[in-house]
């Protein structure tokens, strides 16, 4: 199991999702979680798995509640087993706080990315 995870929020943009997946270099051993925020157009899982050959998981939320909710739901789902790297600039304090707490409570985890 990889110790670092990427949370990618998704809402009706499979092309953008695939572009994000392509941005992850092959030497990065990351577990990717795509959090679909109640899209009308669901991500194409088969295409996504062609683009990213690493560990790839999909989380489907029942309705659209916004990017902050999607990222926080993703954090809740994956728990403290992973560090967190967001493909967005999550600005909500509770999102950043959950991330930092998760990393600080387990010295075996690494943190990547930036927070605004």
Q: Domains, the chain, ranges and CATH?
A: 4-104 (3.40.50)
Q: Read off the pTM.
A: 0.70
If one compares 52 and 96, the residue with the highest pLDDT of the two is 52
Q: Residue 77: its pLDDT value, please? A: 83
pLDDT at 42: 93
pLDDT for the residue 25: 80
Whole-number pLDDT of residue 30: 81
- Check pLDDT > 90 for residue 44: yes
Lowest average pLDDT, out of 12-21, 42-51, 94-103, goes to 94-103
Pairing of strands 55-61, 4-10: unpaired
pLDDT digits (tens, 9 = 90+) for 57-116: 999 999 999 988 888 888 888 876 665 555 444 444 444 444 444 444 455 444 443 332
Instruction: Output the CA–CA distances (angstroms, integers) from residue 99 to 16, 27, 79, 95, in the order listed.
Output: 24, 23, 10, 6
Q: How many CB atoms lie within 10 A of CB 35?
A: 24
């Amino acid at each position: 199991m990889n110790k670092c995870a990427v949370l990618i929020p998704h809402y009706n943009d499979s092309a953008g999702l695939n572009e994000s997946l392509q941005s992850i270099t092959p030497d990065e051993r990351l577990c990717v979680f795509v959090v679909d925020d109640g899209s009308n157009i669901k991500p194409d899982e088969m295409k996504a798995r062609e683009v990213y050959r690493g560990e790839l998981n999909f989380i489907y939320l029942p309705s659209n509640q916004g990017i902050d909710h999607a990222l926080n739901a993703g954090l809740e789902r994956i728990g403290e087993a992973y560090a967190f790297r967001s493909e967005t600039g999550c600005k909500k304090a509770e999102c950043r706080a959950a991330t930092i707490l998760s990393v600080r409570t387990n010295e075996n985890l690494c943190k990547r990315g930036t927070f605004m």
